[in-house]
Amino acid sequence: MNSEITLVDVSGAPAREQFVWPTVVLRKPAIEAQIERLASIDRPADGRRAAAVNHPMNTGPVPAYAPGIDVHIIVLKPGEKSAAVLRNSSCVDMCIGGSGVVTTAGKTFHVEKFDVWNTPSMQMQTVENNGNDLFVRLSYSNAPLLERLEVHYVNDKPQIAAQNDESREMAAQQRRARDASTPIPIGSDGAQMLGYEWLVDIDTIDSKALHWPWKDIAPHLENVYGMDLAYTGRHLYVLYNPATERRIGTSPSFFATIAKLPPGKVDKPHRHTSAAINYIMWGHGKSVVNGEKIEWAEGDLHFSAPGWSVHNHASREQGFMALTIQDHPLHIANESLLWQETLKSPILKLGTDLGVQTNLSAIAE
């Protein structure tokens, strides 16, 4: 290791040009071949047969499909169960084949094709295939960002028990040390000085594993599928986890949306600093991303929106359905979510600027 600290002259230096990963599609046959390969190997010690989807431009330190998002294709054979792991990254999963049972924080739910669930940070989860077919899922996490920060905590022999609701309630009823630390106002604009206790005893939220069964999602998608083509918003629903509060996410880092576009819908070119990955659940369509035309169909995994790239998506004669994972809540927390709804619209900073207004009320009349 070179131990010498250097000082870099950046006086008058121009802003660094951002290196944009190009749009790419991992095709259905490649995903299917990988599933077959994973099913053929010896069972790994932790029971997790997994392949990480790696973008050709990724320079590490771990495989990733967008700079801050990894996607793992995970396979369990009938009767197999994965070992519990404790990680400070959080996940959003979608089952794309077979069925199984997810157990996390004392809660168990059965999942089948197109069900979505989230796994909070530092919550142990086991997944079991109790069916007769391969249980296949796509698992998205924010691990690449934590790995880049060199703070990805992974404990594959977890001993600690998660704090249960009872102990959380007891703690809430106790007088907190921070109550003895009186805020000191500075000036008249809201600036304050706070004692140490405020740093180490922040207000908590109940971060739970939630499950969105496909059978409950699917009927509602007909609402957006049936919407007028003149609608200026997107034909989708976000799978909302209340723990993400105003950041409208599915996990603290990502939102998951399920879109069902009617035939012949063409979105206006737009851009956002959040990166997006689309899994095409049904139908087919095409996109233009940074001027590059790309087509995709059912079963493909499309890196569909590199952050701040101008892009739009279009359905064809059938329409399409897609799961989109986007690192939108992460950017809201960072106050870095820039959004330009059309290339003629102003660049908004969502979360502090008044957001985009669609024509929903006019369409609904």
In angstroms, the CA 97 to CA 108 distance is 19
3-class secondary-structure state, position 135: strand
Give min distance, CB of 308 to Fe ion, in A: 11
The phi and psi torsions of 36 (rounded to 5 degrees) equal -65, -45
Give min distance, CB of 248 to Fe ion, in A: 15
Give min distance, CB of 305 to Fe ion, in A: 5
Give min distance, CB of 271 to Fe ion, in A: 7
3-class secondary-structure state, position 205: coil
User: What residues contact 361, with CB distance under 8 A and at least 6 apart?
Assistant: none
Give min distance, CB of 66 to Fe ion, in A: 13
3-class secondary-structure state, position 309: coil
Give min distance, CB of 328 to Fe ion, in A: 10
For every residue of 251-297, DSSP letters joined together read: SSS-EEEEEEEPTT-BPPPBEESS-EEEEEEEEEEEEEETTEEEEEE
CB 129, CB 78: distance < 8 Å: yes
In angstroms, the CA 260 to CA 278 distance is 12
In the bound state with Fe ion, the residue whose beta carbon lies nearer, of 171 and 360, is: 360
Give min distance, CB of 158 to Fe ion, in A: 37
User: Nearest to Fe ion by Cβ — which residue?
Assistant: 305
In the bound state with Fe ion, the residue whose beta carbon lies nearer, of 163 and 358, is: 358
In the bound state with Fe ion, the residue whose beta carbon lies nearer, of 214 and 231, is: 231
CB 352, CB 312: distance < 8 Å: no
CB 277, CB 301: distance < 8 Å: yes
In the bound state with Fe ion, the residue whose beta carbon lies nearer, of 26 and 305, is: 305
Give min distance, CB of 270 to Fe ion, in A: 6
In the bound state with Fe ion, the residue whose beta carbon lies nearer, of 297 and 305, is: 305
In angstroms, the CA 288 to CA 313 distance is 7
In the bound state with Fe ion, the residue whose beta carbon lies nearer, of 76 and 305, is: 305
Q: Which residues bind Fe ion (CB under 5 A)?
A: 305
Q: Which of 292, 318, 320, 319 is nearest to 304 (CA)?
A: 292
In the bound state with Fe ion, the residue whose beta carbon lies nearer, of 73 and 321, is: 321
Q: Return the structure tokens found at 348.
A: 């908004």
In the bound state with Fe ion, the residue whose beta carbon lies nearer, of 121 and 257, is: 257
Give min distance, CB of 151 to Fe ion, in A: 29
Per this entry, what is the length of the chain? 365
Q: Which of 87, 83, 121 is nearest to 103 (CA)?
A: 83
The phi and psi torsions of 364 (rounded to 5 degrees) equal -75, -15
End-to-end CA, the chain: 66
In the bound state with Fe ion, the residue whose beta carbon lies nearer, of 34 and 315, is: 315
In angstroms, the CA 302 to CA 72 distance is 14
